[in-house]
Amino acid sequence: MGAVVTLLSPDQQRHQALWRRVSSARAAFTINPTQATAKAAVDALRGFVEVFVDDPAVAAILCERFEAYMAGFREGSAA
């Protein structure tokens, strides 16, 4: 039996790479909730959203909400 190989389109590859960056940054923030790791997570998500969300208003809302979530998470971790 041969191995099954799934070929990803360039868009799918870019999607996966950007999403891995978001996941890694969020994991780093979870381990070490500092302003620097929060900013890295928000910047990673912003990069993902700017590429894959066509509507700039929706992209801005997603980024703002994620930034607020990360700020709240950081404040909760510090307590």
Distances (CA, A) of 63 to 5, 6, 18, 69: 35, 32, 15, 10
CA angle 11, 8, 41 (to 5 degrees): 55
Q: pLDDT tens-digit profile of 60-79?
A: 898 899 888 877 876 665 55
For residue 65, tell me if it sits in a domain: yes
- Enter the DSSP assignment of 12: H
CA angle 60, 16, 54 (to 5 degrees): 30
For residue 2, tell me if it sits in a domain: no
Domain count, the chain: 1
For residue 4, tell me if it sits in a domain: no
Count of beta carbons in the 10 Å neighbourhood of residue 26: 20
pLDDT of residue 26: 84
For residue 45, tell me if it sits in a domain: yes
For residue 3, tell me if it sits in a domain: no
pTM for the complete prediction? 0.66
Which residues form the domain of 19?
11-78
